[in-house]
Structure 1
Amino acid sequence: MKFEFFKKIEEADDVQNGTGETNASQDTNTDVNQQQTDTETNTETTEMSQQLVALVNRKTQLKTQYDSDIKVINDQITLLQKQRGDLQAANVENNEQAQINKGKIININVSLNELANRKLVKKTAYQKNVRDVEQQMLLINKEIAEAGGDVDVKCVDESKVIDMRFSRKLYEAVLNRTDEMYAMIKMSFGEIENLSFQPSSTNCRTFAKNIIAFLNKLGWGSGENEEKFKTFVYNIIDASHISLGQAEKDKFVNNLTNAMKENQLFKWLFMED
């Protein structure tokens, strides 16, 4: 009773002094302001995470283009080396033919050196472009950190495991996953020559929504995920009653799967923990 009595006195004093209602109002305002701040922070970090997605994809594109360029050069080198070997192994019956072969070998060696130089130029340019992209990634990570978000300092590493962890974070953070999937679907259909039926934008948007809903329920990286994913895509194509031949379906599913494997936002699907 004594405790209740003094409690009532304190409450009365609060009302009389105008502090009780004021304190409650201040607490409410503080909560609202904090919620608004948290929302703004989440929006800001999400936008920056989307920028990271674009940069990581740019880095992947640079690597793909570099590998393609180097393959072309290496194929030329292999061909020239074979020609040189054939000339060196040839049985020459006279000095005139020997001189001709010697001249051809010299020309081949000059060409080989030029190709080696082209490889160096390609490598130097590629490394510079990658450094530029990674520097931009680090600057965005710095902004994310200053905005109160979490960053992965190893996001610029080439490790498969690191890539998967970074992919997971991006996938969970980015809000426009459907837009990214929609773009890949359109691209995958567009890469099929003489496509018998071009799905509409509405069809592609529906595919994208269904696929994202499926991925949200799918477990993280597993060796079985690729087969599950392909089966699901085949099913939604059949359910949509879009008139595509089996070969066209196969090409689309393979195109989309390969695009996802190169996309930092989705590549986690095909990686094993």
Structure 2
Amino acid sequence: MDKDPRNPLQKPFWSFCDAINAGNCRFAYNETLKKMYSIKNLDSLPPMPEDGDTWSVMQSWALPTRSFLEFVMFSRMFVDSLDAQIYEEHHRTNRCYLSLTKDKHCYSRVLELLVNVWAYHSARRIVYIDPETGLMQEQHKQKNRRGKMWVKWFDYTTLKTMDEDLAEEADSDRRVGHWLWPWTGEIVWRGTLEKEKQKKNLEKEEKKKKSRDKLSRMRSRSGRQKVIGKYVKPPPENETVTGNSTLLNVVDA
């Protein structure tokens, strides 16, 4: 972030986020987190301290697979809560409070910084890799974050429970109208797995039933089949059949 041309004044994290989002980044995060966690009041935002280290911008980051999947789970819920605030007006006018002009991607600049908030407060190690030299340097060391992280908010178990609640709601088709979350990834919860298991069992039973029915039809046809013809045994070579009598050809010795 310290090398981003959009940040010539070297503003701290939340100030920079405000600067590239029409001054409303903090407001957007506040409203989104309240909706996401179903709370009425949020007096402050997750702290992103000024400790001399830098932050990721423009989606220039990489994660191990497991951490990536956890971040995707979190970001799906975050962007869904953000979209719920903005969609109607943005869909109608191409405007939203995160941009001063019409902008088809008006909340992309909020999302490009989201990985920093998640990584810092879920206690992930953050390492900067110099693209020219390959030099690696750890940023925002974990020992310096103690007492500053909102660990409970970004705990995997908490987020997984929230994800399953959304999946159950999506699976029930109770919600009507525009809803982004089901379109951003898989819908998986315990009920989904049970349904899949039941579906497989039904498919197996149906397959067995078809096999039994087929076998039954084959047996039924074989029992009713008419005789096509009758086999007549030919006479021996030394017998000649004439009418209803049999003549023996006697050969003198």
Band the TM-score falls in, shorter-chain normalisation: under 0.3
By percentage of residues, which structure has more strand? 2
By percentage of residues, which structure has more helix? 1
Asked which structure has the greater RCO (Cα within 8 Å, sep 6+), the reply is: 1
Higher radius of gyration, 1 or 2:
2
